[in-house]
Amino acid sequence: MLCGPCRLLRASVAPTAALAAALLSSLARCSLQEPKDQVASALSPYFGTKTRYEDVNPGLLSDPEAPQRDPELLEGSCTPVQLVALIRHGTRYPTAKQIRKLRQLHGLLQARGPGDDRPGNASDRGLGAALADWPLWYADWMDGQLVEKGRQDMRQLALRLASLFPALFSRENYSRLRLITSSKHRCVDSGAAFLRGLWEHYHPGLSPPDVSDMECGPPSINDKLMRFFDHCKKFLTEVERNATALYHVEAFKTGPEMQNILKKVAAVLQVPVNNLNADLIQVAFFTCSFDLAIRGVKSPWCDIFDIDDAKVLEYLNDLKQYWKRGYGYTINSRSSCTLFQDIFQHLDKAVEEKQRSQPVSSPIVLQFGHAETLLPLLSLMGYFKDKEPLTAYNYEEQIHRKFRSGHIVPYASNLIFVLYHCENAKTPQEEFQVQILLNEKVLPLAHSQETVSLYEDLKNHYKDILQSCQTSEECELPKVNSTSDEL
Ligand SMILES: *[C@@H]1O[C@H](CO)[C@@H](O)[C@H](O)[C@H]1NC(C)=O
Ligand SMILES: *[C@@H]1O[C@H](CO)[C@@H](O)[C@H](O)[C@H]1NC(C)=O
Ligand SMILES: *[C@@H]1O[C@H](CO)[C@@H](O)[C@H](O)[C@H]1NC(C)=O
Ligand SMILES: *[C@@H]1O[C@H](CO)[C@@H](O)[C@H](O)[C@H]1NC(C)=O
C-alpha cells in the first residue's frame, strides 16, 4: 500500500529543512500505519470471533483512518448530544489454552518419522513437513493479550469516530469522557490505545504521552458490568460449568461434517486419524487466523483447509457462541440486563440535562469488553435471531443463518448508541432520537426496521428489559425446596 506522504517524499526534490522534518515525521507515521500485510486469505470470512475488523469493513483496507460515514447517519437539524459505545478489544494473541493445543498438534507433526511419509503423494507430504518446520511464534506469556495490531485497531477506530462526531469528541468534551473497562489486560490496553488515538486527533503529528498524563482520569474497571457473565450464578451453573449445556457443540464435533475434515486432514498431514480430534483441527484453523491477524502472514496452516472446511469450522465456532452467549439459553442474554440498563441510564441522564438546558455531563461513554459482552446484549435486543436454533444436525439448513459471529463481533467490534437532539421537533417526544451503529454501520432497529427511532419509542420497545429484568433475580438459582422456613 502506498500512503500519501510516502509517495510525496519519493517525488520531492531538494526539500527544505522544515519540509524534510515534516516529511520525516509523516514517514514515521506512515510506516507505523502501513498495514504489514495486504494478505487476505480466502478463509478470512469464516474466522468467526477471530475475524479482522477490516474483513467486515473492507473500505478500511485502503485507508484505516478515513471515517466510513454511513449515509443513513442523521445530520442537519439533529445534532448528536451523546455517544455510548461498547467496544470489543482489538486483535489479541491466542490464549494459553489455545497455545497448548497448538503445541500438541505441532509435536504430533514433528514426531512423524520418515516412515510416515508413505510414498504416493509428494505434494501432501510437503505440507506436513512444512508445518513441522513452521516456527511456533506463540508462547505462554502471550495468553490472550492485546497485540500491536490490536492497538492500531483501537487507535484507528478512535480517529474515525472523532472525525465522524467532531463536536462530541471536541477537546472541551474530552475532559468529560467516561471510560469503563473489563479488568482483562486486553481491554484495559484497548482503552489506553483508544485514548492515544484521540490524543493524536487533537495533536496531529505529535507522539502521544503516557496515558496517565492524558488528563482523563484512570479507567474505571467494572467487571460486574463488562464481564457480567462471570457474576451470574445461574449462567455459571446452568451453562458455563454444565457439561451437557453445550451438547450440540460436542455432537457436531463428532458428527459427519467434522469427521470428513478429520479424515482429510489426517491424510494430508500423514498422521494417524486417531491422533487428531476436532479441537486440534480447530486450533490449526485458528492458527491460520492468528498468523494472518497478528503477523500479517498467510501461513501454511491455512493450506490445510479449503472453503468448505472453513464453513464447517465457522459453524462449530458459531454453535458454541450460540449456546453459550446467544439465543441457546435465555440466561445468556438475560444476564446482560444490567449493562443494557446502564446504557439507558446514561441516555436518560443526557436527555434530562438537555431538557434542563444543562451541558451533558458525559457526552462520550466508552465501555471496553469482550465478544462475550456484546453477543448476549445483541441477543437481548433481538438481533441476529434465526427462526430455527443452530444445532448439531442442521448445518446445511443454517448455511444462510443470521447468527454469524464473524460478521457481528470481529476484533474491535463496536455497538454504539447515538443520542440526538433535534430542532424543529413538533412534539417534545420528537426532540430526542437515537441511532444504533454496529461496526460503524447503522443497525436498523429491531422493532421497526427503521434506521432511526424516537428515544421514547425505543425505551417503550424495550420496556420489559428496562423495567422488569433485575440481574439479581434473573441470575438467582432456582430455589431448593425448603418448606421448613415457611412453616
Ligand atoms: C460537547 O458535546 C455537546 C453534546 O453533548 C455538544 O453540543 C457541544 O457542542 C460539544 N462541545 C464543543 C465545544 O464542541
Ligand atoms: C495428492 O494430493 C492431491 C491434493 O490433495 C490430490 O488431488 C491427488 O489426488 C493426490 N494424489 C495421490 C496419488 O493420492
Ligand atoms: C445442564 O444443561 C442441561 C441442558 O440444557 C439441563 O437440562 C440441565 O438442567 C443443566 N444442569 C444444571 C445443573 O443446570
Ligand atoms: C416442594 O414444595 C412443595 C410445596 O411447597 C411440595 O408439595 C413438594 O413436595 C416439595 N418437593 C420436595 C422435593 O420437597
**Distance, CA of 346 to CA of 358 (rounded, Å):** 15
Among all ligands shown, which has an atom nearest to the Cα of 81?
1
How many angstroms separate the alpha carbon of residue 478 from the centre of ligand 4?
A: 13
Q: Which atom of ligand 3 is nearest to the CA of 245?
A: 2
Cα–Cα distances in angstroms (integers) from residue 265 to residues 125, 258, 259, 270, 469, in the given order = 12, 10, 10, 8, 47
Pairing state of beta strands 414-422 and 78-88?
antiparallel
How many angstroms separate the alpha carbon of residue 94 from the centre of ligand 3?
A: 30
* pLDDT bracket for residue 114 (50, 70, 90): low
pTM score of the predicted model: 0.86
Q: What is the DSSP letter of 14?
A: S
How many angstroms separate the alpha carbon of residue 89 from the centre of ligand 1?
A: 27
**Distance, CA of 405 to CA of 322 (rounded, Å):** 9
Instruction: Identify which of 305, 266, 304 has the alpha carbon closest to the alpha carbon of residue 116.
Output: 266
For ligand 2, is residue 124 a contact (CB within 6 Å)? yes
* pLDDT bracket for residue 216 (50, 70, 90): low
For ligand 2, is residue 303 a contact (CB within 6 Å)? no
pLDDT digits (tens, 9 = 90+) for 158-173: 999 999 999 999 999 9
pLDDT digits (tens, 9 = 90+) for 13-58: 333 344 334 333 433 333 343 444 455 679 999 999 999 999 999 9
- Which residues have CB under 6 Å of ligand 4? 481, 483
Catalytic residue among 89, 106, 346, 421: 89
**Distance, CA of 342 to CA of 198 (rounded, Å):** 24
Beta bridge partners of 368: 87, 181
Q: Which domains does the chain have, with CATH numbers?
A: 51-92+146-240+329-475 (3.40.50.1240), 96-112+124-143+246-319 (no CATH)
Q: Which atom of ligand 3 is nearest to the CA of 247?
A: 4
How many angstroms separate the alpha carbon of residue 353 from the centre of ligand 1?
A: 13
Strands (E), 127-193: 178-181
pLDDT digits (tens, 9 = 90+) for 168-215: 999 999 989 999 999 999 999 999 999 999 999 999 888 777 655 555
Q: Which of 481, 482, 487 to mutate to test the pocket of ligand 4 (most atoms within 8 A of CB)?
A: 481
Q: Is 89 a catalytic residue?
A: yes
**Alpha helices, H only, 12-147:** 17-33, 53-56, 96-110, 122-133
Which is more confidently placed, 120 or 253?
Answer: 253
pLDDT of 82 over the 60 cut: yes
pLDDT of 302 over the 70 cut: yes
80 phi and psi angles, rounded to 5 deg: -65, 135
* Count of beta carbons in the 10 Å neighbourhood of residue 149: 21
